Structure 1
Amino acid sequence: MTPAEPLYIGILLLTGAFTGTISGLLGVGGGFIIFPVQYWLLQETGLDPDLAIRVALGTSLFVVLLNAISVTLKYQKKQAVLWRQATLMGVFGSAASFGGAAVASYLPASVLSTIFGVVVILGALRTYTTPAVSEKKEISSNKLSYVLAGILIGFFSGLLGIGGGVIGIPIMLIFLHFDMLKAIGTSAAVIIFTSLGGSLGYIVNGWGQPELPPYSVGYINLLNWVLLAVPGFLAARKGAEIAHMVNPEYLKHLFVLLMFYVGLKMIGII
């Protein structure tokens, strides 16, 4: 398979549209879907797995950036974005994401895919046991908690090519006492920061690497980015509209199922 083949192009266009919808619906960047699909496709083109996984990670983060902007704008209209908290987490998360991208540039594909799967599954387990709507506790006002949350979200965002929603939403629900819709909206805003920092990290660390696919800037492939980002951006706002018409508990269950599937797939269990 080559990047010019209709099948390659079609798979990425459909993945972008689906991921955009999920991003708007669940407040995640969608990297946990975009990354595995790209990783598989790039290997099918004959790219070395270690190189393929870095290109998939970097490109995923760059796609996530555009999705996050679209979703944040939509949730802002519904007053579901807590900007003070999002900015605090985002600033520290952006720097940590750059560092995570640097670490990922030196790890083998097998290690990265296993870490990715384990982190996603742990996030799914904790999210499943947390109510989608927090009624008894006020949202945390502890600034240090937001700084630590931002660093944790950002580092794994850069390391695993995800915006950080699969980690950030469980943290916001469990430790910071957000309800589901505010966690989704605020997560999308944080992802703008973390995906930007991580994308820069993958550009810097991949600059001048030999045997990169055509149209690559560092570890970000611009061809894949266009095929994923354009349909994703258009679909993300529709997903955000749907989210405000659906029971938050249903959103949580959908989020958990997707996380379990992707996590098990990356570990190699299914």
Structure 2
Amino acid sequence: MMVIALGFFGLLVGFSSGFFGIGGGTILVPTLIYFGYDIKMAIGISVMQMIFSSMFGSYHNYKAGVLQLHSGIYLGFGALIGAGFSGLIVDALSSLALLILFASILALSIYKFFSAPIVPAHEPNESKSLLFGVGIVIGAIAISTGTGGAIFLTPFLVGFLHWDIKKAVGTTLFFIIFGSISGFISLALSGHVDYTVGVAVGIGSVLGVYFGVKLSHRVEKKVQKRALLFLYVVMFVLTLNKILSEMNIL
């Protein structure tokens, strides 16, 4: 019964993936934790479903012309390398350390994204070597915390590299394909994947991502930015609450 419920929840995760350009882990990992899953298993399930949603969503973003394919390739190959270390990182860090790492980077992302203008003030930076390096770092950190990396990458592209928000959202979903595949292999070899739940959530997310991508293409940039900020803040509060619980403060 729980697997069926998570399958339906995958619809929401998929919709969020398509609309926000995220892998869904930002929502799924905290939810699975509250359902009673250990954070390391929650990360494995989350990364597995990302493969489903990111591939399907990227196909539709490419058709709509909001996927910077040439830049996404360099980010993606960087993520492919970085995510390969995720199994080692998850094994090396405690659950509390992973939560704190996630919350810290999320807080920085919120600040930078909030301060970035809707219309970029400078020409977008698309340096191939820089994007490749960014892909490695974010791929390693993101997959190790159960996210696809978009929640870190989108603020970086918009805030530091001056990308248009819609192209940043479309490209980060493509970036997730590489990191999720590499991370899934690494986490599976470490025994951190529940395949039954991962498939159930993944199938649900494929159905949801279609509608999320369609809505993403239609809304104004200002509305999409506000929605992203709201999502980031909610996830930060949920993660902070879990950290305090782990530390027996609450």
Fold conserved between structures, TM > 0.5? yes
Shift of residue 11, structure 1, vs aligned partner: 4.0
> What are structure 1's unaligned runs of at least 5 residues?
1-5, 44-51, 207-218
**Which of 235, 260, 263 pairs up with 2:208?**
235
Which of 5, 12, 25 is residue 6 of structure 2 equivalent to? 12
Please state how far the C-alpha of 1:22 moved relative to its aligned partner: 0.9
Instruction: Identify which of 103, 125, 132 aligns with 2:89.
Output: 103
Distance 1:82 1:143 in 2: 12
Unaligned stretches of 5+ residues in structure 2: 245-249
Counterparts of residues 64-143 of structure 1 (less than 5 Å): 64-134=50-120, 136-143=121-128
Matched, 1:194 2:179: yes
Instruction: Give the aligned residue type for 1:162.
Output: T
Shift of 1:92: 1.3
Higher helix share goes to which structure? Answer: 2
Instruction: Name the TM-score, length of structure 2 as normaliser.
Output: 0.92
Residue 23 of structure 2 contacts residue 147 of structure 2 at CA under 8 Å; is this kept in 1? yes
Classify 1:122/1:11 alpha carbon distance in 2 versus 1 (closer, same or farther; 3 Å). farther
The DSSP-based 3-state class of the residue aligned with 1:253 is: helix
Among residues 240, 256, 269, which one is paired with 2:229 in the alignment?
256
What is the distance in 1 between the residues matched to 2:78 and 2:206? 26
Q: Which of 194, 198, 201 pairs up with 1:225?
A: 198
- In structure 2, what is the Cα distance between the partners aligned to 1:267 and 1:106? 21
Q: Which moved more, 1:241-250 or 1:260-269?
A: 260-269
Question: Does the 8 Å CA contact 2:86/2:187 hold for their aligned counterparts?
Answer: no
Instruction: Tell me which residue corresponds to 1:210.
Output: none
Counterpart in the other structure of 1:48: none
Structure 1 equivalent of residue 247 of structure 2 = none
Matches within 5 A, 1:20-99: 20-43=14-37, 52-99=38-85
SS at 1:220 equivalent: coil
Do 1:157 and 1:195's aligned partners in 2 also have CA atoms closer than 8 Å? Answer: no
| Offset, 1:38 | 1.3
Instruction: Kindly indicate whether the alpha-carbon contact (under 8 Å) linking 1:173 and 1:180 is maintained by their aligned counterparts in 2.
Output: yes
Q: Supply the distance in 2 between the matched residues of 1:132 and 1:63 (Cα, whole angstroms).
A: 31
Amino acid at match of 2:126: S
> Match for 1:247 among 220, 225, 229?
220
Residues 117, 265 of structure 1: 8 Å contact kept: no
TM normalised by structure 1 equals 0.85
- Larger CA deviation: 59-68 vs 140-149: 140-149
CA contact (8 A) 1:121 1:264 kept: no
Structure-1 separation of matches of 2:56 and 2:111: 28
Which residue identity does 1:124 align to in structure 2?
I
Shift of 1:42: 3.4
Deviation at 1:96, TM superposition (A): 0.6
Higher relative contact order by CA 8 Å / sep ≥ 6: 1 or 2? 2
Given that residues 118 and 267 in structure 1 are in contact (C-alpha distance below 8 angstroms), is that contact kept between their aligned partners in structure 2?
Answer: no
- Specify the alignment match of 1:204 in structure 2: 189
Let me know the Cα RMSD of the aligned residues.
1.6
Q: Output the amino acid matched with 2:158.
A: L
